[in-house]
Structure 1
Amino acid sequence: MTKTCVTAQVMKHTVLAGDVWELVVAAPEIASITRPGQFVHIRLTDTIDPLLRRPFSIADCDTAKGTLTFIYRVVGRGTALMTKLQPGDTINCMGPLGNGFDVTAKRPLLVGGGMGLAPLLLLARAFCSRPATILMGGRNEQELFWPNLYATVCQNIHITSDDGSIGHHGFTVDLLPELLKQDKFDAIYACGPHVMLKGVAAVAAQYDVPCQVSLEDYMACGVGACLSCTCENTSGKRHKVCTDGPVFWAQEVVW
């Protein structure tokens, strides 16, 4: 796996909704070799607190401009400090890390929940010649700002919300069987909370549709050395999410 460590300049940093931010940085060395589903390990360059890097999925990549886009939610000290970044500031990026999605499907269905929709955006762009359908879910209308981001890269957008304030009232897994009955999708790609992924994997198996999942996990080193992000596979061994994943075939994971 090819990766590099670079100092990246902040080009754009804006609030998308509530505590969710979009960060665009110039990192042509990484952008040129990025695949959908991979991530970058980020360290702020002007402090050693927090000491450890933080993993961020790559939400978009422009190889012509040499930029990477990250969409993140403020959840702790590290991301709170990141919100202070201004255009012209720099961060240290190591990546691209991990294994990405298989992009050979002809009729792809993307399923994302919450911040799990971030890495699926670049995947949707990879299917531009055969536009993907996406099923997206969130807690409420405020969290579901994503349709505007996906509008240019997805053929059909289906929305669910936990509280019914937008789209279908319920969870993404509730609506998934209906979509699989309506269309002949040849692959499902999912990212989101573990409970959602477990449900998507079960429905995919029921309808005999190949399914890849991107696992979200806490990581320390990001390169497979610390073993802090392992998960059990169906052969009884342990996968390292950072290097064996974060993308796995659903049947490889013990749910």
Structure 2
Amino acid sequence: MTKTCAAARVIEHSLIAGDVWKMVVVVPEIAATTRPGQFVHIRLTDTLDPLLRRPFSIADCNAAQGTLTLIYRVVGRGTALMTKLKPGDTLSCMGPLGNGFDLAARRPLLVGGGMGLAPLLFLARAFCSCPATVLMGGRNDRELFWPELYAGVCQNFHITSDDGSIGHRGFTVDLLPELLERDKFDIVYACGPHAMLKGVAAITAEYDVPCQVSLEDYMACGVGACLSCTCASTSGKRHKVCTDGPVFPAGEVVW
């Protein structure tokens, strides 16, 4: 798979909710071949601290304009430094990396929790003609700013929150059986916390609906060399999340 390391120029960068930021960069060399579910490895260009790159899922891509959209949460030194970037600044971007989602579905259901909704936004845009149904969840209404972002892509979404402050009270997996019984989805795509993915995998298996999951993991190299992001598989071998994934059939992952 072709991957490129290029300078990405920031053209938009803003705080959108709490500690979550949205950044749009121009990097046509990478945008031209990016598919939903892939990611990029980022390093700030004006410092070697932190030294290692950071992986970011791709929340949107416009190949014609050569842009990528990243939606990220501040979780450490690297992402804290990223918030200082302004339009016109550049960063080192390597990608597109990993294997994306299979886009052959005709009646897809997207299930996302927390920041796992970022890569599913790009996936939902790919299914605009279908369109996709989205089940989104978070801890409370402050974390569920996603409906506004998804409204420009699709209108058919369901919301759950742990505390009931918005949408259905409970977890995303609580509402999933009802949706699977109501509609004839031909695949479920999921991204989010490990516990949520485990629940989605079990429920879709019970309803005999194919499911693909996007795993989020810590990565050092992003190209399969360091083995820091391996996961167990039902075949007995260990998969590299960065190169074998991050998207896997749910039945191939040991939960």
Give the shorter-chain TM-score range.
Answer: over 0.9
- SS in structure 1 of the partner of residue 142 of structure 2: helix
Normalization by structure 1: what TM-score? 0.99
Describe the superposition over 1:91-119 as per-residue Cα deviations: whole angstroms up to 9, x where unpaired. Answer: 00000000000011110000000000000
Considering only aligned residues, what root-mean-square deviation do their CA atoms show, in Å? Answer: 0.5
- SS in structure 1 of the partner of residue 156 of structure 2: strand
Describe the superposition over 1:180-219 as per-residue Cα deviations: whole angstroms up to 9, x where unpaired. Answer: 0110000000000000000000000000000000001000
Summarize the alignment of residues 1-150 of structure 1 with structure 2, pairs less than 5 Å apart: 1-150=1-150
Aligned sequence identity (%): 82
Runs of 4+ in 1 over 4 A off after TM superposition: none
Which residue does 2:205 correspond to in 1? 205
Distance (Å, rounded) in 2 between the aligned partners of 1:48 and 1:211: 40
Normalization by structure 2: what TM-score? 0.99
Distance (Å, rounded) in 2 between the aligned partners of 1:188 and 1:216: 17
**Aligned-pair distance for 1:152?**
2.5
Distance (Å, rounded) in 2 between the aligned partners of 1:215 and 1:49: 26
Describe the superposition over 1:206-252 as per-residue Cα deviations: whole angstroms up to 9, x where unpaired. Answer: 00000000001000000000000000110110000000000000000
Aligned residues: 255
Distance (Å, rounded) in 1 between the aligned partners of 2:188 and 2:49: 39
Paired letter, 1:198: K
Contact 1:37 1:214 in 2 (8 A): yes
**Aligned-pair distance for 1:151?**
1.0
- 1:165 equivalent to 2:165? Answer yes
Describe the superposition over 1:113-152 as per-residue Cα deviations: whole angstroms up to 9, x where unpaired. Answer: 0000000001001111111000000010010000011112
Distance (Å, rounded) in 2 between the aligned partners of 1:143 and 1:27: 29
Paired letter, 1:68: L
Distance (Å, rounded) in 2 between the aligned partners of 1:105 and 1:152: 21
**Aligned-pair distance for 1:64?**
1.3
Which residue does 1:191 correspond to in 2? 191
Paired letter, 1:171: F
Paired letter, 1:25: V
Contact 1:132 1:153 in 2 (8 A): no
Describe the superposition over 1:50-92 as per-residue Cα deviations: whole angstroms up to 9, x where unpaired. Answer: 0000000000001111000000000000000000000000000
- SS in structure 2 of the partner of residue 117 of structure 1: helix
Unaligned stretches of 5+ residues in structure 2 = none
Contact 1:7 1:92 in 2 (8 A): yes
**Aligned-pair distance for 1:155?**
3.8
Distance (Å, rounded) in 2 between the aligned partners of 1:151 and 1:105: 21
Distance (Å, rounded) in 2 between the aligned partners of 1:246 and 1:103: 15
- SS in structure 1 of the partner of residue 251 of structure 2: helix
**Aligned-pair distance for 1:28?**
0.5
Distance (Å, rounded) in 2 between the aligned partners of 1:199 and 1:178: 14
Unaligned stretches of 5+ residues in structure 1 = none
Paired letter, 2:180: L
